[in-house]
Structure 1
């Protein structure tokens, strides 16, 4: 059932990309002013009906630098709203790509893990125990293609809930980093320093929560 739904969704996404090819071309050309000065004055928040689907497509096909839409969101809506909208698009796309990869390769995944020999045992244990942490770290690296991370995670026994928690934290981290990289376009120096400090606090809190949950899981066992 999901496979057919995925095929239909991919077809609709492809049609959307073709229909909006001018915008995709502007994104690939990193023409931020096209969106902020031409599209936004006419559409307002309606621009999200374009940028969020484009972020979903980006997480499946990798067609343009994601930092462009993140910058557009922050310029138009401010840091926190921009982060929220970028987070919604990237996380939805990453979740769909993961389910798509797992659905189409389910039998291969089952065969691989059920038939693993002793030499795969340590790798399996490592993935099962540190899966969330690995997802957070990988997604925090802006240059890592999201679709490759999703496909790689789909080839592990990782639960969907674990993948989505790791993806959520990693995407917030990634978007935050990209926003800081693009800070010269939208932020004052004082705002940049404040957001950098808040980002370091976010990393600390995320690490504490992860290790606390992991410790409790060990104690429960």
Structure 2
């Protein structure tokens, strides 16, 4: 996927910046597609710092567009069962400084799905300005860490990538087994 995105962006020259932003917005609106492949493509095509800033602008814009769309179109889902989960309620009912702090903190955590945070904030009490500021500021350090890690993986040799893939697979299996043991039945 990353290679295709690199080819796509390289084919459009100066328009690649805008196409990358549009792709990031689409990924954000979908809410379930990770944007790491696009970050990697941006770093490869534009270089580290320009690629980082294009990725940041795309993710920030994507979060804001998603928030507006979710707020307008998905508010009726605010009564679904999973929203009564104790870990979801704080963000759902937060506003002002509390909402800012929660969104900022959740954006810093790479394992918390961005689409879920955006969705819950959009159907909750969070105002648009609070969401936009907290989401964007929280994405800065998180995206920098992601971009740095992706950049290091891009630079490593195929042997290093193989070792990383084997270690990742082993970690996945270890975690999967732990989760399976805890599941009832």
Q: TM-score, length-normalised on structure 1?
A: 0.56
- Residue aligning to 1:131: 99
Worse-matched range after superposition: 40-49 or 75-84: 40-49
Q: Where do 1:178-217 residues align within 5 Å?
A: 178-186=146-154
Structure whose CA Rg is larger = 1
Aligned-residue offset at 1:185: 3.8
* Aligned counterparts of 2:9 and 2:126: Cα–Cα separation in 1: 40
* Aligned counterparts of 2:59 and 2:21: Cα–Cα separation in 1: 8
Which of structures 1 and 2 has the larger relative contact order (alpha carbons within 8 angstroms, sep 6+)? 2
Worse-matched range after superposition: 43-52 or 94-103: 43-52
Deviations 1:26-63 (A, max 9, x none): x3xxxx33343x33443223223432212111111145
Q: Where do 1:10-21 residues align within 5 Å?
A: none
Q: 1:139·1:167 contact (CA, 8 Å) conserved in 2?
A: yes
Aligned-residue offset at 1:90: 1.2
- SS at the partner of 2:141? helix
Asked if 1:98 corresponds to 2:67, the answer is: yes
Q: 1:60·1:146 contact (CA, 8 Å) conserved in 2?
A: no
- Residue aligning to 2:174: none
How well do the aligned residues superpose, as a CA RMSD in angstroms?
A: 3.0
Unaligned runs of 5+ in 1: 1-26, 112-121, 189-221
* Aligned counterparts of 1:90 and 1:83: Cα–Cα separation in 2: 10
- SS at the partner of 1:182? helix
> Which of the numbers 55, 62, 87 marks the counterpart of 1:86?
55
* Aligned counterparts of 1:94 and 1:150: Cα–Cα separation in 2: 7
- Residue aligning to 2:16: 47
